[in-house]
Amino acid sequence: MSSLPIVFINLSKDAERRERMTAQFAQMGLAASRLPAVWWADLSQAEQRHYFCAPQSHGRYFKPLSNGEKGCYASHLRSWQQLLDGDAPAMVVFEDDVRLLPDLPQALAAIEALPADGSWDMIKLYGREPEKIANQGPLVEGSLQLISYQRVPSFAAGYVISRSGARKMLEARVPFDRPVDVDIRFWFENDLRVYGVYPSVIALDDTSEVSSIWAQQAAPTSRLQKMRKFKMKLALNWGNFRAAKPQVSAVLKP
């Protein structure tokens, strides 16, 4: 059983999600603590300016970030700082709209056994089906693979982040100007070594379809925003094409 610290991000008002997550961890014998989610409007103007760079966002993301997206990112930033403030080699971070799958405990135990030498920064616990794999190797013999991606998938629903990963994100992404999962997809900008567990060991819960921190009715995308989105996708594709993919063999040393 892994002894890595586990946190789940949860708003104070979301008691039902909190209870569901707590019950899942207890059923699996995992000790987890709640990390209070950031409600963006509750932050002071100084705190908001510290976390978020509005002028830069217009050039690097195709539309304005909602307060919910900003609060979500700030919550993840606080989890990474919590890791660095302690002495653990890595931390497991969940959002509160996930379903834990049976292979999660052994995946976490296997990740904890990996070298803490900077060869990996983040290991995503949730991805796509089928996944676009660059290279792979056995994480748990006979059941789970450690993979690197052709293109890192969206979602920051669940992952393990190392101290080196937390440091890279806090140094390069404060202030942020894109959603947290988009910044992770641009891993090549700050040499974030992102891997994944395949198949996924968590799933999105039904509640993931209804966000508790931002409105579901998004404003229509304008022509200018569509052009900016196309430009952002080109930058993502070009960066992925040029950058050397992280090698699983660098982590799974013989």
pLDDT of residue 211: 52
Q: 100 in the Ramachandran plot: left (φ > 0), alpha (ψ -120 to 50) or beta?
A: beta
Q: What is the pLDDT of residues 101-114, one digit of tens each?
A: 999 999 999 999 99
Q: Could you tell me where the beta strands, DSSP code E, fall in the chain?
A: 6-10, 33-36, 90-95, 98-100, 122-124, 133-140, 144-149, 158-162, 194-198, 202-204
Kindly list the distances between the CA atom of residue 247 and the CA atoms of 101, 158, 198, 228, 250, in Å, as whole numbers in the listed order.
26, 21, 15, 32, 6
Burial 36-67 (b: 16+ CB within 10 A, else e): ebbbbeebeeeebeebbbeeebeebbbbebbb
- 208 or 202: which carries more pLDDT confidence? 202
- CA–chain centroid gap for 43, Å, is 22
The number of residues making up the chain comes to: 254
The per-residue pLDDT of the chain, averaged, comes to: 92
Which residues sit opposite 135 in a β-bridge?
148
- Worst-scoring range by mean pLDDT, 18-32, 50-64, 66-80, 240-254? 50-64
pTM: 0.93
Residue 254 has pLDDT above 80, yes or no: no
Q: What is the pLDDT of residues 110-134, one digit of tens each?
A: 999 999 899 999 999 999 888 999 9
228: its two tokens = 């900016």
Cα–Cα distance measured from residue 112 to residue 13, given in angstroms and rounded to the nearest whole number: 32
- Give me the domains of the chain, ranges plus CATH numbers: 6-204+215-250 (3.90.550)
Cα–Cα distance measured from residue 71 to residue 120, given in angstroms and rounded to the nearest whole number: 26
Cα–Cα distance measured from residue 34 to residue 245, given in angstroms and rounded to the nearest whole number: 34
Q: Is the dihedral of CA 230, 215, 155, 183 positive or negative?
A: positive
Residue 56 has pLDDT above 90, yes or no: no
3-state secondary structure of 230: helix
Pick from 197, 198, 196, 193: nearest CA to 119: 193
